[in-house]
Structure formats: structure tokens, C-alpha cells
Amino acid sequence: MTANNGSSSAFGIAVVLGLAAHQVFRKYETYNIGVHAAILFAPPVLLTLLAHSAQPTLPHALLANVATYLTTLVLSVLVYRISPVHPLARYPGPLGCKLSKFWLATRCISGFQHHYIKSLHEQYGDVVRIGPNEVSIRDSTVLNALLGTSGLPKGPHFIGRMLNNKGLPMVGIQDTETHLRRRKNWNRGMGPAALREYEPLIAKRARELVERLEEHAGGVVTIGNWFNFFSHDFMSDMAFGGGSELLQAGNDRGNVWSVLEEAMFIATFFGHMPWLGVYVGKIPAATGNLVVLLNNCVKCTTARLTRGSEKKDLFHYLNNEDLPDKPPAPVQHLVDDGILAIIAGADTTSIALTSVAHCLLAHPDVYARLQAEVDRFYPAGADALDTTHHRDMPYLTAVINETLRVFPPVPGGSQRYVRPDGKAVVVGNLVLPPGTMVWPHVYSHHLDPRNFAPHTTSFWPERWLLASGDPSLSLSPSDPAARGVSASSPEFRHDEAGFIPFSVGPMNCVGKTLAMQEMRMVLCAVLQKFRMRAGEGEGEGWDPRTYEANYRDYFTAQRPELPVVLELR
């Protein structure tokens, strides 16, 4: 009887301890594995040792107390997350999302989480609960408050992506002051003076791209691969002073891009569960090519620092080499930011260029109009890599912008969060309690008819000409989509507050201007030299819908192969 009473007492204490542990996890966020282990196992172990002195009963008692404690903890967490007392209970969403981020992490495996989240907004509205403590936002009127000067700090998803809660690249730093302080070097490295230094590097690699493509004229080439080679070679030149010659090799030497694509797939999964990413990051070889990618970036950075500055590359600014009175930046900061330079710099530009090529092939009328604009400023024999005329090419800008709208290279965008030790954020009817993660979902904003209409889900660059208000930028009379549409038409919507491919505010994409310059230079050079047509044969042999159907979201997008035939003009 005494033993039974002791067991009942231990059971009750284990339940109480499980409920108390839930409160600890709810209020205090940590990525320390030792702390997690202590909270998960120390209470039932201590309870067993104190409540059971008879040695033969210890194993059975320990098993029972651990099971009771952990079961109580898990049930308490799950019940709380779906209960009406949860701070986010007011916001609708799928039950699986409310219970665990594992639900959305598994949905991201297919690569279609951007479609999934967009469908949730269409079903539930502008604020959707996509995690126990996370919401997705589709409302352009609150973006400035969330992302602007006094907006929210970065969220923890980069901890999962980097498999570490320390040594994050600038874009993933959660402390706003630290982030902006680290960003100062990037702002100098991406400022007008620095971009002028990089322009010859872009021209050199774009010229090399055209020369290599010329060797394949008349045959089928996978154009996206060549844009990969260009962007990686240029980013290596610009960031590290060289070291990559994929254009020269004409192939993915060293499996640079296959490693990158697999790594982004892994990083996306763990980005939804940062604590699990930290755990797995401690296991050798458990994350495959993600660790390979990170190590390759470390090698590039280390080699650049050892070699020193040969020209004014990005690291010239990141390492304070342009400010002799300041000490060099910490090596770890440079290693962390070297990772950012490759992933964010090379990958996104290549994605956008490939998507532009697809859109031109799928819309011959757009292709013809853009070709005419390029020919007007860069006729045969002119230097197509001279940037002087870019400001006078509105249709080129419209085509790029519309491509970024329909096929954003980062479909999900950047996660932000409300500090757990801060106050709730209130913007209109939106209330975000402390500890809430927030995704201003890029893809959902871009395809919201309140922001862009008509032809919301279609590629239609003319919308940017209409919105400019310049009467000289007339619509093409041959464009059937433009018939009956004007800037004053009731159905016309063009809210650029909802256009966020580079995010907005002081923590937006620091490389926006560079990326736009790369795309303009490459497109002008390629269109001046070649005529593109679908590589699988036009008509029944090529369906442009397959590109959108296979455009996948692994933080940065993975796009399908785009075979084209390049004919010399």
C-alpha cells in the first residue's frame, strides 16, 4: 500500500513538473542543447531518486516517471497551442500548423510551400497562422510598419539554415543594432562608388558569357546553366577577387550548383525548426551538402584574406580596407558574410535571368517589344555593356520587374519576429504578441489582385508602363491584354507597396542595385547578339506552363531547366 501511495504521489509530482516545464519552454527560448536536455530529463530523474529508495524499483520507476513527465509536457504544449487562451488563437490556420512547425517543414519538402501559403491566404484571409507562434501576412498596408525604419528584427530561421545560433551572416542577425552596424560595411561595398568599381567585372563576365554562348549557336543550350556560371564567376570576382571559372569550363566544375541546390533544400527544412537545425548541426555528415556548401564558402573567404586585396572587391569594404584608420573586421564576421555573398548574390540573379528568358519565350509580343528597345540603344556593333542608356529603357525595367513579381527568386521572403521580452506590436487590426514570428509572404503579396490587376497571375509588363503615368510609354496596340485598360480604368490596380522581391526598409536586400545592373547588362548583351527560341521545338513540343509548374521554393527558388536554341542575329 505504501508502495502504491508512493507511486501515485510520484505520478502526481511528475505531472506537475511536466506542466511547469511547459511554462519554462514557453517563456524562455534557448538553443543550448545542454539546457534542453536538463529540462527534459533532470526533473523526472531527480524525482525518481528522491521518491524511490529501493534499488530494485528504480529502473521501473524511472521509466514511469520519465514517460509521465514527457507525456504531460507534450500534451500540455499541444493543448495550449490550439486552446482559445493562446495569444494567436484569434488567427485562423490549419490544425497541423497550429500544433507544430513540423507540419509546414514537411510541406516544404516538395518545394511548393509558396503555393501552399498562398492557398492558405485565399482560404483564411490576410493573416494566417502557419506555426504555433508564427503568422504569414498578406497585407501591403502593414508592410512599412513591419519592415520599415522602426520595423521588426530578423527572425530565427537563419539559425536553422546555418545549423548554428552563433556566427550568423549579416542578413540573419536578430539584434537590430548589431545587424545595422554590420550592414554599414555592406552599404559601402554596395554603394554607388563601389558599383562603379564592379561594372568592368560584370562587363568582363557578360562578354565571356556571350562568347561562350556563341560557340553553341544553332544548338540547344540549357540557358539557366550558363546564367549560373556567369553569376557564380562574377560573384567570386566581386566578393573574393576571383577563384571561379565555370564559364571557361562550360560545366558545373566542382558541383558548385548541385551542392548549392541540395544545401538550400536542407536549409529550408531546418529553417522552420531552428532548434532541430542546431541539434543536427552537431552530427558529422548528417546534413550532407549543406555543410559542404558552408565549408566551400569558408575556403573562399580564407583564401581571399590570405591573398590580401588586389583590387577593390567586396571584401575590400567588408574588411575595412577602405578605412585605414579602422581595424580589420573580425575573421569570423568575414567568413559568415562570405556565405551570404555566394548564396544571396549568385543564386538569386541567375534565377531571375532564367525566368526572364522563360517569360520572353512564352510571350512573343513582349519579346519583340523588348528586342526593339534593345536594338534602338544597342544596334549591331554598339557596346551592349555600356550602362549609359539603361535609365532610358523603361520596357527593360518593366520586363525585369514583372518577372520578379510573377517569379520572385525568394518566394517566401524574410522572416521577422516580435521580441519575447518586448511589447506586442499593433498595426491597425493586426496584433502580434511577444514571441510571434512573422512572414510578410512575397509570393502572396505579388499575386494579390488588390495590389496588381488585371491579369494578376499573368506576366504583363505593360502594367508598369501604365503605372508610370508617362504618356510617351504607350501600350502596344497588338497586345490583347491591354485592350480597354488604362491607368484610370476601375479594374487597374498597381500598388508597389505590395512589390517586395528585395524586401523593404533598412534591412532590405543590400544587393538590389547590383542585381538590377547585372540583369540589365546581361539581357542587353544577349538580346543584341542572339535570337532565342524554345529548344524543344515550339508548339506542341514546348509548354511554357511547365516552368511555373516546376518552379520550387527552397528559400531561394529552384527553377526547371530551360533549353533554348540561340541563333546569331
- Work out the burial of residue 474: count CB atoms within 10 Å of its CB; fewer than 13 is exposed, 13-18 middle, 19 or more buried: exposed
CA of 442: how far to CAs of 343, 374, 406, in Å? 19, 30, 10
User: What DSSP letter does each residue of 87-120 carry, written as one string?
Assistant: TTTTS---HHHHH-THHHHHHGGGT-HHHHHHHH
Give the count of alpha carbons within 13 A of 288, CB side only: 11
- Work out the burial of residue 102: count CB atoms within 10 Å of its CB; fewer than 13 is exposed, 13-18 middle, 19 or more buried: middle
Q: Which residues of 490-513 are buried (b: 16+ CB within 10 A; e: fewer)?
A: eeebeeeebbbbbbbbebebbbee
Give the residue ranges of the annotated binding site: 509
**Residue 60 CB neighbour total at 10 angstroms:** 12
User: Which residues fall within 8 angstroms of residue 325, CB to CB, at 6 or more apart?
Assistant: none
φ, ψ for residue 431, nearest 5 deg: -125, 120
User: What DSSP letter does each residue of 33-83 carry, written as one string?
Assistant: HHHHHHHHHHHHHHHHHHH---GGGHHHHHHHHHHHHHHHHHHHHHHHHHS
Q: Which of 12, 162, 127 is nearest to 428 (CA)?
A: 127
- Work out the burial of residue 154: count CB atoms within 10 Å of its CB; fewer than 13 is exposed, 13-18 middle, 19 or more buried: buried
Measured at the CA of 286, the angle between CA 283 and CA 290, to 5 degrees, comes to 110
Give the residue ranges of the annotated binding site for heme: 509
- Work out the burial of residue 92: count CB atoms within 10 Å of its CB; fewer than 13 is exposed, 13-18 middle, 19 or more buried: middle
Rounded to 10 degrees, the C-alpha dihedral 464/465/468/471 comes to -170
Distance separating alpha carbons of residues 109 and 103, to the nearest angstrom = 11
What are the grid coordinates assigned to 307, written together? 591573398
